[in-house]
């Protein structure tokens, strides 16, 4: 009963947050697009017909068709009204339903985000545990230096270096795009290195604190071996702050997805967002920004429920 109430409480809280995110993201993205210099109708007409075929008449036609000549407030209210009916509208450039385009793009973005998170955990967990078991040792100092190095370098710079090393010069992996699993390696590694740089230190601190806790010493006096103490007590207690930090790191994950998709021409939401901004495709910008914001809310809900499930204190009182 307690578990069910916690689930519905978390779900209700995140549902309210999703509504707020949808409204705020839509308004902010709309306002930012309106603040850009130049005539949106000309850019949209160029995206539709090409710069060579675009003229003032085609721009006027686009302006009338899309209602760009209406007051800004009217345009925003119209979009919010459509959103209330779960209608994201159509792309101003391609004319395709935004929901259909996002459905495909979201799959690629989630694939990249999941692969990057998996790579970061495969790196951060063993590195963090080894550093936390012997804090102050040579491996701890080395991992700290590596963490600072990879965290200080922008994600796009790491991506360019990996692209030059593994794709351009050695030709071991493809450069960009997506035509198979091998195209996922470099983007996921780029995203995972940035995430692991910080999460490995969080794991290190959690393991180090758990190793020095009184309950850990008590478990040893009961006769448990070092391996059993580590697996049954230390790692589970250390997992809670690590999983909680993953929720904080989701913002960097989503930000990294947008940047890395642009670098590697990955066909996801981030790549579509950048192209929509350049093309002044306001409905597409609002739709992609909304999808990224809601993805952040959903992932945070998963983190909340995971933290509740692995919390040792709850298992003792259950």
Alpha carbon distance 258, 276 (integer Å): 13
Q: Using alpha carbons only, how large is the chain's radius of gyration in Å?
A: 24
* End-to-end CA separation in angstroms for the chain: 10
Report pLDDT for 2.
44
Give the whole-number percent of the chain exceeding pLDDT 90: 13
> Could you please report the per-residue DSSP string of 218-260?
HHHHTT--HHHHIIIIIHHHHHHHHHHHHHHHHHHHHHHHHHH
Closest of 195, 233, 37, 206 to residue 116, by C-alpha: 195
Query: Torsions phi, psi of 97, nearest 5?
Result: -60, 130
CB 194 within 8 A of CB 150: yes
pLDDT at position 187:
93
Among the listed residues 206, 35, 9, the one whose alpha carbon sits nearest the alpha carbon of residue 127: 206
Q: Where residue 189 falls among pLDDT bands split at 50, 70, 90?
A: very high
Asked if 288 and 48 touch (Cβ cutoff 8 Å), the reply is no
- Judged against a pLDDT cut of 50, whether residue 318 lies above it is answered with no
- Closest by CA to 129, choosing from 194, 223, 202, is 202
Element (H, E) at 101: helix 98-133
> 22 and 287 in contact (C-beta within 8 Å)?
no
Question: If you average pLDDT over residues 270-296, what whole number do you get?
Answer: 87
Q: How far apart are CA 263 and CA 270, in angstroms?
A: 10
Mean pLDDT value across residues 61-82: 86
Whether 194 has a pLDDT exceeding 50, the answer reads yes
pLDDT of residue 152: 87
Fold of 107-317: MetI-like fold (1.10.3720)
Average pLDDT score, the chain = 81
For the entire predicted model, the pTM comes to 0.78
Ranking 12-26, 47-61, 233-247, 288-302 by mean pLDDT, the lowest is 233-247
Residue 195: closest CA among 127, 269, 293, 138? 127
What is the per-residue pLDDT for 227? 60
What pLDDT score was predicted for residue 43?
A: 85
What confidence score (pLDDT) does residue 17 get? 83
pLDDT tens digits, 153-169: 888 899 999 999 998 88
Higher pLDDT, residue 39 or 189: 189
The domain ranges of the chain are 107-317
Residue 47 near residue 96, CB atoms below 8 Å: no
State CA 154 to chain mean position distance. Answer: 16
pLDDT at 113 over 60: yes
């Amino acid at each position: 009963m307690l578990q069910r109430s916690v689930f519905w409480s978390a779900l209700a809280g995140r549902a309210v947050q999703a509504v707020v995110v949808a409204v705020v993201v839509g308004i902010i993205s709309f306002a930012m697009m309106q603040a850009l210099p130049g005539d949106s109708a000309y850019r949209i007409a160029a995206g539709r017909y090409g710069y060579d075929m675009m003229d003032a008449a085609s721009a006027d036609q686009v302006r009338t068709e899309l209602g760009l000549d209406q007051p800004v407030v009217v345009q925003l209210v119209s979009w919010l009204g459509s959103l209330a009916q779960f209608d994201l509208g159509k792309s101003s450039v391609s004319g395709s339903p935004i929901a259909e385009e996002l459905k495909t793009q979201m799959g690629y973005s989630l694939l990249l985000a999941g692969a990057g998170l998996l790579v970061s955990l495969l790196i951060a967990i063993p590195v963090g545990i080894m550093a936390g078991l012997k804090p102050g040792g040579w491996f701890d100092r080395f991992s700290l230096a590596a963490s600072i190095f990879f965290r200080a370098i922008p994600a796009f710079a790491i991506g360019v270096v990996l692209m030059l090393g593994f794709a351009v010069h050695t030709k071991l992996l493809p450069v960009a795009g997506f035509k198979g699993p091998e195209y996922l390696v470099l983007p996921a590694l780029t995203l995972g290195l940035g995430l692991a740089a910080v999460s490995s230190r969080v794991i290190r601190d959690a393991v180090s604190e758990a190793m020095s806790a009184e309950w850990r010493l008590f478990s040893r006096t009961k006769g448990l071996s070092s391996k059993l103490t580590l697996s049954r007590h230390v790692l589970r207690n250390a997992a809670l702050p690590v999983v909680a930090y993953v929720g904080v790191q989701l913002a960097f994950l989503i930000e990294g997805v947008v940047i890395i998709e642009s670098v590697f021409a990955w066909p996801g939401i981030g790549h579509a967002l950048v192209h929509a901004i350049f093309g002044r495709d306001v409905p597409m910008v609002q739709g992609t920004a909304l999808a990224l914001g809601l993805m952040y809310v959903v992932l945070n809900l998963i983190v909340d429920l995971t933290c509740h499930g692995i919390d040792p204190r709850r298992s003792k009182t259950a």
